[in-house]
Structures are given as C-alpha cells and as structure tokens.
Amino acid sequence: MRNIAEIYKKEIRFYFSTPIAYVVMFIFTAVFGFLYFRNLTYYSELSYQLMQNQYFAQRVDLILGVFAPVFNSNSIILLMVIPPISMRLFAEEKKSGTIELLFTYPLRDIQMVLGKWLAAVTILFSMLVLTVYAPFIAFGFAKSAEWGPVLSGYLGMFLMGVAFLSLGIFISALAENQIVAIIVSYGALLAFWFIGWAVDPDSGRQVGKILGELSIISHLINFIKGVIDTKDLVYYLLFIFSSLFLTLRVLESKRWRG
C-alpha cells in the first residue's frame, strides 16, 4: 500500500509541477464551458417558446435538452484530452531511462501500475469535478432539479474516461516514444469508438449487435439517459481490468526480453 501511495504521490507531483495537468484541465473545462453555455442559452430560448403552448410546456426537459447533448459531446473532448495524460506514464520512464532504477527497487509491478493509474484517474476525476457548476446553474433556475440522470451521466463519463486511461497506460507500456504512444492511443480509442458503426446494429444481423456492444461509446448512452445498466457497468470494468492486466504482462515480458 505504501509503495502504491509513493508512486501515486510522485506522479501527481509530476503532473502538477509540469504544465500537463493545468493545460489539460484548462482545455477540458474551457471546451466544456463553451458547449454548456451554447446548449443552455439555446435551450432556454427554445423552452421560452415552448412555454407558450400548454402541450409543449410539459415537454421541457433539462436532461434531454441540455445535459444529454453536452455529456455526449463531452465524451469526444475526453477522448482528446486523456491520451496526453496517459501517454507519459511508462513511455517517459523508458525513454529517459528512469525505469531502470525503478525496476531495481523492492517494488512489485502491480504497485507501480496501480500508483500511476490512480494518479491519472485523479486528474480525470478533478477535471470532471471542475464541471459540476453546470448542473447547479441549470437547476438553480429550474422549477425542479433532476439530480439522478446528471449523476449517472457523470458516473458514465468517469467510467469511460477511466477506460480510456487504462488503454492509454497499456499503450504507454508498449511504446518508448510518447508521440507514438499518443497517436496509437488515439487510433485505438477511435477504433473502439467506430467499431459499432461497422455494421448497422438495426440490420438484424448478429455481428452488428456484437460490434455495437463492443463500442466504447454505446455504453455511455444509457448512463446519460439516467439508466445504470449492469451490462454497461460490466463492460467498462472489464475494459479497465483487461487493460491493466495487459499492462502488467507487458512489463513482465519487457523484463524477460531485456
């Protein structure tokens, strides 16, 4: 436990003593803020018009109108800002040679991986925390606050972000060059993103369904709608676990191959 904590502290210190954490958080919150502002102002104008009509007035829904589109777009921003967080975790240590000493300390591989992973997860978590002003503003003006779907949306984004991170760490363990690590991460994440579009899931073909379920984005939709489905939870947890497991195997094989 202590070793995990030490590696964690070291990585956190690195993120905040270099511009990485600040730049990533700034870009993320700025883009999120812009998207949120656009959606909120657009929807408030729209709902003003809807209010004129008795029937439509019942249909004004902050979740569907504002948060769902913002959270959806947010997943793309996450895809862009997470590889810069994960790319350095192992690639940098290998490139600069610091991994040699790290490997000679009484430290288990799993402690190293978990420490680094937790540090990156912390950055992701803080980024998401920096956006929680959004529902407070919206609900502040609304008649009733629907926190459930917002919270499940956040949970979904968090899980998806952690899945991105975990795949990124795995790729970082494979690569020695950070540029290679980030490009391959983008490629792999986009592949998991688009895989569901390869075959139309509504075509009735089994393969379409399977590919649809494999897609990393398709499992976010339920969370955004406010539905926490075990299937989606298991998908993300399995994705995270497999990535970390593969990272451990890579570290182990690097050792044997020298």
Partner 1 sequence: MYGQTVAVKNVSFEVEKGEILGFLGPNGAGKTTTMRVITGYFPPTDGDAIVAGHSVLTEPLEVKKRIGYVPENPALYKEMKVVDYLKFIGSIKGVARAHIGESVDSVIKKCALQSVTGKHIGQLSRGFQQRVALGQALVNDPPVLILDEPTSGLDPKQIHEIRELIKSMAGTRTIILSTHILPEVSMTCSKVVIINEGEIVAVDSTDNIGSRFVQHNQIEMLVQGQPEKVIEKLSELEGVMRIDNTSNRYTLDVEKDRDLRAQAAKKIVESGFDLLEMRTKAMSLEDVFLRLVTEEEGV
Shortest separation between residue 4's beta carbon and partner 1, angstroms: 10
Question: Tokens in use for 227?
Answer: 């539905």
Residue from 104, 144, 206, 230 binding partner 1 (CB under 8 A): 104
Q: Cα angle vertex 205, ends 201, 207, to 5°?
A: 75
Report the residue from 22, 105, 147, 241 that binds partner 1 according to the rule CB under 8 A: 105
- Cβ proximity to partner 1: between 52 and 101 the closer is 101
Provide, rounded to whole angstroms, the least separation between the CB of residue 7 and partner 1: 8
- Count the helices and strands in the chain (H runs, E runs): 14, 0
Binding range to partner 1, per CB under 8 A, among 6-14, 119-127, 157-165, 193-201: 6-14
- DSSP secondary structure, 43-103, as one string: HHHHHHHHTTSHHHHTT--HIIIIIHHHHHHHHHHHHHHHHHHHTHHHHHHHHHSHHHHHH
Q: In whole angstroms, how large is the CA radius of gyration of the chain?
A: 21
| Residue 22 touches partner 1, criterion: CB under 8 A | no
Residues 107-136 touching partner 1, rule: CB under 8 A, are 107-108
Select from 1, 49, 55, 101 the one that contacts partner 1 (CB under 8 A). 101
**Closer residue to partner 1, CB minimum distance, 58 or 104:** 104
Q: Is the dihedral of CA 86, 89, 91, 96 positive or negative?
A: positive
CB-based contacts of 233-237 (< 8 A; 24+ apart in sequence): 233/159, 236/159, 236/160, 236/162, 236/163, 237/159
**To the nearest whole angstrom, how small is the minimum distance from the Cβ of residue 46 to partner 1?**
49
Q: Which is nearer to partner 1, 103 or 197 (CB)?
A: 103
Q: Which is nearer to partner 1, 38 or 249 (CB)?
A: 249
Q: C-beta of 15: minimal distance to partner 1 in Å?
A: 11
- Tell me how far CA of residue 126 lies from CA of 21, 52, 238, in angstroms: 10, 41, 23
Q: Are 74 and 32 in contact (CB under 8 A)?
A: yes
Query: If binding means CB under 8 A, how many residues of this protein chain bind partner 1?
Result: 25
Question: In the set 37, 41, 100, 147, which binds partner 1 (CB under 8 A)?
Answer: 100
Task: Report the alpha-carbon distance of residue 25 to residue 17 in Å, rounded.
Answer: 14
Cβ 179 to partner 1 shortest distance, Å: 19
Q: Which of 14, 26 has the CB closer to partner 1?
A: 14
Please, which of residues 237-256 interact with partner 1 by CB under 8 A?
Answer: 255-256
Q: Rule CB under 8 A: which residues touch partner 1?
A: 2-3, 6-7, 9-10, 13-14, 17-18, 96-98, 100-101, 103-108, 255-258
